[in-house]
Structure 1
Amino acid sequence: MDEQVQRGKQWLEILLKLMNIPADVQLGRVEENDKQGVSCWLTIDEANLDQGQINALVGKKGDTIDAVQYLANSLLNIGLGDTAPCFFTVELNGYRIRRQAELVAIAQSAAARVRDTGTPEEIKYLSSVERRQIHSILESSDDLTTESQGNEPERRLIVKLR
């Protein structure tokens, strides 16, 4: 697994270099799960970046950093055979941590409205990764269930009573 994690770090460093972005990559939280593989955070060091470069790397509503993360996870897990995959989270300037807090608040708010009204709640404008995160946030709720409906780019998450 260490080899896969290092490969992810090197891949992101090369990508940043090709983009003319003068940044190092730090390995962050690495969590191993025997069944599902390894989860690893790759944090882009913003020390040598100006705000314009940071904004460009994050993108509008996180689109660019999501695309970089998608590429990392797609390309670096191709052809692993029996080897468990390594799931990468690309972080820059605290974006993922802030967005996770926002997603928790969105999930809790939707859950409260569903419990109060009994009416399913639709959450729009989430990436596939963010929908999966909200599914995970609410999966331990005994009284609620979540499902994705529709097709991209209008795919949405529905929170409803079981």
Structure 2
Amino acid sequence: MEQQEHHGKQWLETLLDLMGLPAEVTIEYRKSEVGESDECWLIIDDTQFTPEQIAILIGERGEGIDAIQYLANTLINLSVDDSQQQGFTIELNGYRWKRYEELKAWTEQVAQQVRQTGQEVEMTSLSSAERRQIHTFLQDVEDLETESRGQEPDRRLVVKPR
């Protein structure tokens, strides 16, 4: 798998270069949210970027960095056997970590609201990766369950009593 991770690094550096934003990419392994194994993070060195360039790469509500991550995960795994596929998380300027903390806090607020009211709550404006993350946050919570409803681009996550 190490070869695939280096291929991911090379792919991302090439993409950034083609975008006119050359940057070094480092590989880092971080503990998975679900505890199965370490995740491969491709971290873009943003020290040479202006704040405007960082904002463009991240995009509104993370849409830019999400698109880059989707492309990386799709293209790098395209010719790889299913059992050998590697998931990649693309990080820039601490965005993923900050967003993770925001989602965790929001999920806790929504969980409290559902418990207090006994009514389901819809969480909107989430990417598919963010919906998956919230499903993971709440998967072992005994009194709550989650489901996704609707069709893209209006797909939303619902938290409700079990």
**Normalising by structure 2, what TM-score?**
0.93
Sequence identity (%): 49
The aligned runs of 1:18-33 (5 Å cut-off) are 18-29=18-29
Q: Aligned partners of 2:79 and 2:23: how far apart in 1? A: 29
The root-mean-square deviation of aligned C-alpha atoms, in Å, is 1.5
Q: Aligned partners of 2:31 and 2:60: how far apart in 1? A: 29
Per-residue deviation, 1:82:
4.9
Query: Which residue pairs with 2:143 in the alignment?
Result: 143
| Residues 1:5 and 2:5 aligned together | yes
Is the CA contact 1:120–1:158 (under 8 Å) kept in the aligned structure 2? Answer: yes
Q: Which amino acid aligns with 1:52?
A: E
Q: Which runs of 5 or more residues in structure 1 are unaligned?
A: none
Is the CA contact 1:38–1:87 (under 8 Å) kept in the aligned structure 2? Answer: no
Q: Which runs of 5 or more residues in structure 2 are unaligned?
A: none
Q: Which amino acid aligns with 1:159?
A: V
Q: Which amino acid aligns with 2:155?
A: R
Per-residue deviation, 1:47:
1.0
What SS does the aligned partner of 2:87 have? strand
Per-residue deviation, 1:31:
5.6
Per-residue deviation, 1:29:
1.7
Is the CA contact 2:13–2:22 (under 8 Å) kept in the aligned structure 1? Answer: no
Query: Which residue pairs with 1:44 in the alignment?
Result: 44
Q: Aligned partners of 2:147 and 2:134: how far apart in 1? A: 10
Query: Which residue pairs with 2:129 in the alignment?
Result: 129
**Deviation string for 1:75-117 (max 9, x for gaps)?**
1111322542110000000000000001001111110000111
Is the CA contact 2:149–2:158 (under 8 Å) kept in the aligned structure 1? Answer: yes
The aligned runs of 1:1-162 (5 Å cut-off) are 1-29=1-29, 39-162=39-162
Is the CA contact 2:138–2:146 (under 8 Å) kept in the aligned structure 1? Answer: yes
| Cα 1:145–1:71 shift into 2, 3 Å | same
Show structure 1 runs of 4+ deviating over 6 A.
Answer: none
What SS does the aligned partner of 2:84 have? coil
**Normalising by structure 1, what TM-score?**
0.93
What SS does the aligned partner of 1:86 have? coil
Per-residue deviation, 1:38:
6.3
| Cα 1:80–1:38 shift into 2, 3 Å | farther
Is the CA contact 1:124–1:156 (under 8 Å) kept in the aligned structure 2? Answer: yes
Is the CA contact 2:58–2:92 (under 8 Å) kept in the aligned structure 1? Answer: yes
The alignment covers a number of residue pairs equal to 159
